[in-house]
Structure 1
């Protein structure tokens, strides 16, 4: 019932073991495995809906609906809650935790080793440039977030963290312009229109993008602490090399 645990379960589960994924798992803007997830019935994280599927195990996040988790447990369903990943160093532990819950320890150890091997050589060794993550409503990721760790590993100071933000928060456009980042990282717009996204079309931001060495976009690979985060790290490492 959680996007991030869903994707690791999709990588580890035996044939027939997985019976449902969260509705976000089939959204290509949120999920790196939307095509694979489309083979399973989606759920909305509601206890009644999930209970009627008669699962032996429910994978959830510690941020999943408290009432749904409590009701499922009261009904005798085993629920394993997994902490969100806030650093690249935590990805392996999450893979192993979910593998143990599924009884797929051998497959989990192999996937963790594959991730560990993929991480080698992606850490930037030289001087750090500056990057700013900027999303609808001026939202950004600060210190202690997975995105911040990706930026630092790839060779960037995170403007959000440099300005004192922890986790996530709002970065005023004026402060972003004054920071003059080398790279601006933003998101792919959702279909339709939204007032929260109007800020991304501001003339000051457009001019800042032209002055920056590079502008790039995040995608579903950035959302969760799965092996797919390596693709996000690689794209930012490529952006850092491009500045040279």
Structure 2
């Protein structure tokens, strides 16, 4: 540095020579963002769930990295600069990490699109990959703006024709559904759907009973079975005699579970796919110039 005459050049050289932090993740959702943003050499290990077919979005990539064993000796052996946990990590694990003197960062679960983008920014800060995270966020915002514009144009046509917005509901195991103040709920609204759960006063999470389904008459059921090819409760519900008698035959839209268990950039894919499904429904059921 003694021979560095330009201050910006000196600063750049210092930053470039600083090693990036080595990271160990014990959180499935953090695993995904680590694989997305980190240099491979930064990753000391990922959680065992990173290789879970139903939950891990970057399943194939996860096999490139070791699995973390949440024991003191394993963590000491891997010597991470930072361990990423979740708010559900056990007190025992957190206490152990504290005793080892290892820096701990917690990744919260996002309940909105903005919180999802915030998690990407947070992970970029942890990994010292701020530029990579910022570029990704910019790209996602550009895509979201295009979806918003398309949905707004369609909504204007519906409003002018005095046609209600298409109705939908999330329908998972045991009738589990979501309201507007949830990640999937916001995705539905952003894609232009009227979420019938809001008609029941459900703001975050709740249950849709069969009688609710008949009364609210959603045109689409959005399901996310745990794993490809697993049992479809929504599909089974459409065969129920009471629903048939009421003349209801909702379309089933399936979102892969590895796009709903964790938040991440794939949420924009979910919104885009839901917007496409709505657009197709409008083409089929209205004479509006949808394009």
- TM bucket normalised to smaller: 0.7 to 0.9
Pick from 143, 150, 156 the counterpart of residue 187 of structure 2.
Answer: 150
Asked if structure 1 preserves the Cα contact closer than 8 Å seen for 2:55 and 2:262, the reply is no
1:93 is paired with a residue of what secondary structure?
helix
> 1:137/1:226 Cα in 2 relative to 1: closer, same or farther (>3 Å)?
same
- Whose RCO is larger (CA < 8 A, sep 6+)? 1
> How far apart, CA to CA, are the structure 1 residues paired with 2:44 and 2:134?
23
Larger Cα Rg: Structure 1 or Structure 2?
2
Tell me the number of residue pairs that the alignment of Structure 1 and Structure 2 aligns: 240
What residue in structure 1 maps to residue 280 of structure 2?
Answer: 242
- 1:114 aligns to 2:139 (yes or no): yes
Q: Cα offset for 1:54? A: 2.7
Question: What is the alpha-carbon root mean square deviation over aligned residues?
Answer: 2.7
Q: Cα offset for 1:218? A: 1.5
Q: Could you tell me the TM-score, scaled by structure 1's length?
A: 0.86
Q: Could you tell me the TM-score, scaled by structure 2's length?
A: 0.73
2:280 is paired with a residue of what secondary structure?
helix
Asked if structure 2 preserves the Cα contact closer than 8 Å seen for 1:173 and 1:205, the reply is no
What residue in structure 2 maps to residue 18 of structure 1?
Answer: 43
> 1:74/1:164 Cα in 2 relative to 1: closer, same or farther (>3 Å)?
farther
> How far apart, CA to CA, are the structure 1 residues paired with 2:199 and 2:180?
8
Asked if structure 1 preserves the Cα contact closer than 8 Å seen for 2:184 and 2:260, the reply is yes
Unaligned stretches of 5+ in structure 2? 1-25, 159-164, 283-291
Q: Cα offset for 1:184? A: 0.5
1:94 is paired with a residue of what secondary structure?
helix
Moved more, 137-146 or 230-239: 137-146
Unaligned stretches of 5+ in structure 1? none
Q: Cα offset for 1:155? A: 0.6
Pick from 60, 63, 80 the counterpart of residue 38 of structure 1.
Answer: 63
Asked if structure 1 preserves the Cα contact closer than 8 Å seen for 2:224 and 2:260, the reply is no
> How far apart, CA to CA, are the structure 2 residues paired with 1:191 and 1:41?
25
